[in-house]
Structure 1
Amino acid sequence: MRADIRRWLRALLAVALLALPACADLGIEPVAPTPGSPSRVQLEQLLASVRVVATRGHPGGYERGCKDGQGCVFGPSWTDDYDGPGAHDGCGTRDNVLSKQLTGVSFRPGTNDCVVIAGTLDDPYTGNRITFTKADAGDIHIDHIYPLAAAWDMGAVYWPRERRVRFANDIDVNLLATAASANRAKGDSTPSEWLPPVRAHHCFYAGRYLTVAVQYDLPVTAADSAALNDIVRGCP
């Protein structure tokens, strides 16, 4: 091969490599974020507003259960008795989330449009479309985006009980319906430990997690901050 042709091919290859996105270096194709995700600018503003701490504390005393002798530190599950959106409307928090997030919702007759018995969920974590029926209600869980146990460790241990109960039932900020399998996999993990299984949903998840943290003045760990920054760099 002539030397001038080899030089031309090398130059062409160099230009092509420079044009590739950073994720291509890892063999990962770029993925467009799911519709409704915040913009990169919005996410950067949230990142600039959130507090960052070195690590997650372990103050002890977290006890979610509300049976006799248990701490019930975030109040009874899905209570209607709290100060916040959807409160005191006669419906439990779980049904409020389902009725807000599902499409084609049907309610049990005689419950004043409270008890959801059917609908369709476009899962914000897996991207799957899930048919909900009351008979198989366990297929869909309600996730605390910023997990209760993590919130307790990161500062909620010092909150008044009323604020903790509101946090646990905040249908506008901290709750999402999702597949049971996704919720079980997430557990009380934070972004450095778990992300939605579909990359297209990472920008959405980062925005929701940071929004909760900022609105409730909860910090993120340095590891979480690094994970969230990595996500934000890939958002449009």
Structure 2
Amino acid sequence: MTGYDRVEFGQAWLDADRNGCDTRNDILGRDLLHPTFKPGTRDCVALTGTLPDPYTHTEVPFARGAGDQVDIDHVVALGNAWVTGAFRRSIKVRAALANDPLNLLAVDAHNNRSKGDGDAATWLPPYKAFRCAYVARQIAVKKKYRLWVTRPEHDAMVRVLSRCPGELLPRDVSHLPTAVDQNITDPTARPSSGARSLVGTGSSVYYKNCDAVRAAGKAPIRRGDPGYARHLDRDGDGIGCE
């Protein structure tokens, strides 16, 4: 996808609403049934629960660190958002879009990954009864962040909503602004001469394990941080060595 990279939307899972909990755990806490939480995290870090998956109408067990059964889906995929206007927005607006609960659902991981960066013209939830709500949510997100729709996407949305003319757009209950207030480095910004002088030096950060991360005072380490690697983040939530 031309010009798109996940880093254009900031690091994964900010604490955008500054409630002391990152966005991924906020969504797990919202969408899981009977969630349990890691002691001492003020009901932030979800450990177990059952997901009533809206995309398949099945129940999916969730256990932190036990594999990637549950994903947090961007209803308007970030790749689609990028090519329909997000590339024109600031990094703070893009980070808000990536962390806005209006655009996020906990879902079955397998189906989420089959979606990729698809829009309504190329992917819809297998559970047909949820398609109206799904498309309505996409429209609400695109309206909030002033993203456009392509002609095939528009036509697909019209076909879906023609079966449910009374479908309303979901309420934006979080009322988060369309720009985060955290300081985020824009990866598209031109580096200073000092920064440019470091390019090509081959310097890198590597941590063998979480003990090394903690010894360096870098725990927890997040996706996008120097030294982050998949072996440090066994549950794949973008935050390692918690």
TM-score band (shorter)? 0.5 to 0.7
Structure with bigger RCO (C-alpha 8 Å, 6+ apart): 1
Q: Distance in 2 between matches of 1:206 and 1:161?
A: 25
2:148 matches 1:148: no
Q: Distance in 1 between matches of 2:49 and 2:93?
A: 31
TM-score computed with the length of structure 2 as normaliser: 0.66
Opposite residue 159 of structure 1, the aligned amino acid is: R
2:137 matches 1:208: yes
Unaligned runs of 5+ in 1: 1-57, 65-71
Once the two structures are TM-superposed, the CA of residue 92 in structure 1 deviates from its matched residue by 1.3
Residue among 92, 104, 108 paired with 2:34:
104
2:2 matches 1:77: no
Deviation track 1:75-116 (CA, whole Å, cap 9, x = no partner) reads 100122x4xxxx222211110000011121110001111100
Aligned to 2:52: 122
Taking every aligned residue pair, what percent have the same amino acid on both sides?
40
Aligned to 1:6: none
Q: Secondary structure, in 3 states, of the residue corresponding to 1:61?
A: coil
Aligned to 1:226: 155
After superposing on structure 2, the runs of 4+ consecutive aligned residues of structure 1 that deviate more than 2 Å are none
Aligned to 1:62: 4
Opposite residue 103 of structure 2, the aligned amino acid is: N
Larger CA Rg, structure 1 vs 2: 1
TM-score computed with the length of structure 1 as normaliser: 0.67
Aligned to 2:179: none
Opposite residue 97 of structure 1, the aligned amino acid is: I
Q: Distance in 1 between matches of 2:5 and 2:48?
A: 32
CA contact (8 A) 2:84 2:147 kept: yes
Once the two structures are TM-superposed, the CA of residue 129 in structure 1 deviates from its matched residue by 1.1
Deviation track 1:188-219 (CA, whole Å, cap 9, x = no partner) reads 00000001011111111111111111111111
Aligned to 2:219: none
Residue among 90, 95, 106 paired with 1:177:
106
Residue among 98, 102, 108 paired with 1:168:
98
- Aligned-residue CA RMSD in angstroms? 1.3
Q: Secondary structure, in 3 states, of the residue corresponding to 2:8?
A: coil
CA contact (8 A) 2:74 2:104 kept: yes
Unaligned runs of 5+ in 2: 166-242
CA contact (8 A) 2:55 2:130 kept: yes
CA contact (8 A) 2:13 2:99 kept: yes
Once the two structures are TM-superposed, the CA of residue 159 in structure 1 deviates from its matched residue by 0.6
